[in-house]
Amino acid sequence: MRMKIAKTFLNNTMKIALSLLLGGAILYWMYRDFDFSSISDVLLHKTNWMWMLLSLPFGVLAQMFRGWRWKQTLEPVGEHPRTSVCVNSIFLSYAVSLIIPRIGEFARCGVLHRYDRVSFPKALGTVVTERAIDTLVVIVLTGLTFVFQIPLFREFFSETGTTFSGFFGRFTATGYLVTLICVLAIGVLAWWLLQRLEIYNKVKTTLRGLWQGVISLKDVRSKWLFCLFTLGIWGSYFLHYYLTFFCFDATSGLGITCALVTFTIGSIAVIVPTPNGAGPWHFAVKTMLILYGVAETDALYFVLIVHTIQTLLVIVLGIYAWARLSFLKRKQM
């Protein structure tokens, strides 16, 4: 028994360490020659903080929509947690995922079980449902973005004389290596999830709970409301990101189409298991901004400042949720 516990602890420690190492390695490579002393000048004199402040409420709203939608998906499986618990569990889940990537999905189910006696397997099943829907949204968004941006890319390459081979020729060997590592990390994550799911399905009661969660979508009280919440989540995420374009001169004139492309690419990049997508998100968004003509230094400023501010918001919301839940009375069995 002790050997099993020790092995589990070692495996989990290795996963966390590799995740942090991957994110840290990508960030180090990107900022290895960066002049960090210039950041203070950019923050104080070259950043429009009004737009940054306007973007923050949408970051909060996106997580609130997710909490409201989760409460709705739990109702068909006979679970009725309080709205405040659902929302605060989402706040907390994003914050703890900064420490241990992907642990937030389990953490929020644990919060509902602890405070509102919600069945953990059922809650986890609805999380699987939610993630399936969000994955579908990202796929659709990616497809539409690619189709609508083909003329723009053609015009860009025609006016600048740039070719795909010429653009990718700007990548160094390290750049290709970082891309390869990100792809491999996604593959390893997918393999690990499949392995865990296979083990989980051996438990009959857990399988039943997962299945109830997966099929719960067809029984939601209002499918239109579910769709509205889903649009609210992704619309808020986009505005949370897009409004930051107006904070900097280098990105303020790029337009909503560039924001949509970089937002989509960034959403795919965060699949790589690092804290809040740190590293892969920076690399993906910076690369796309350069494609749109932003100078590399300005692109580095943008991704560093925007990601840092948005991560700080996640931390603040997590602290608020922890404090709020600490004073919340638990439901009795």
Q: Write the pLDDT tens digit of every residue in 317-327.
A: 999 999 999 88
Task: Give me the pLDDT at residue 203, please.
Answer: 47
Confidence of residue 86 (pLDDT cuts 50, 70, 90): very high
Classify residue 180 by its DSSP letter: H
Confidence of residue 267 (pLDDT cuts 50, 70, 90): confident
Average pLDDT over residues 246-257: 88
With contact defined as beta carbons under 8 Å apart, do 238 and 257 qualify?
Answer: no
How much of the chain, in percent, has pLDDT values that exceed 70? 70
Average pLDDT over residues 299-313: 91
Task: Give me the pLDDT at residue 160, please.
Answer: 43
Long-range contacts of 171-179 (CB under 8 A, 24+ apart): 174/29, 178/26, 178/29, 178/283, 179/283
pLDDT of residue 210 exceeding 50: no
pLDDT of residue 161 exceeding 50: no
Highest mean pLDDT among 195-199, 214-218, 269-273: 269-273
Average pLDDT over residues 30-54: 84
Average pLDDT over residues 126-151: 79
Distance CA 140, CA 50 (A): 32
Q: Where are the alpha helices (DSSP H) in the chain?
A: 2-30, 39-45, 49-74, 83-96, 104-116, 120-160, 164-168, 173-200, 204-214, 223-242, 249-252, 256-269, 280-291, 296-326
Task: Give me the pLDDT at residue 329, please.
Answer: 79
Q: How far apart are the first and last CA of the chain?
A: 31
Task: Give me the pLDDT at residue 199, please.
Answer: 47
Distance CA 259, CA 238 (A): 8
Confidence of residue 64 (pLDDT cuts 50, 70, 90): very high
Which one has a higher pLDDT value, 35 or 159? 35
Name the token pair of 195.
């392995």
List the one residue out of 120, 133, 127 whose CA is nearest residue 223: 133
Average pLDDT over residues 113-134: 86
Does the pTM exceed 0.85? no
pLDDT of residue 253 exceeding 70: yes
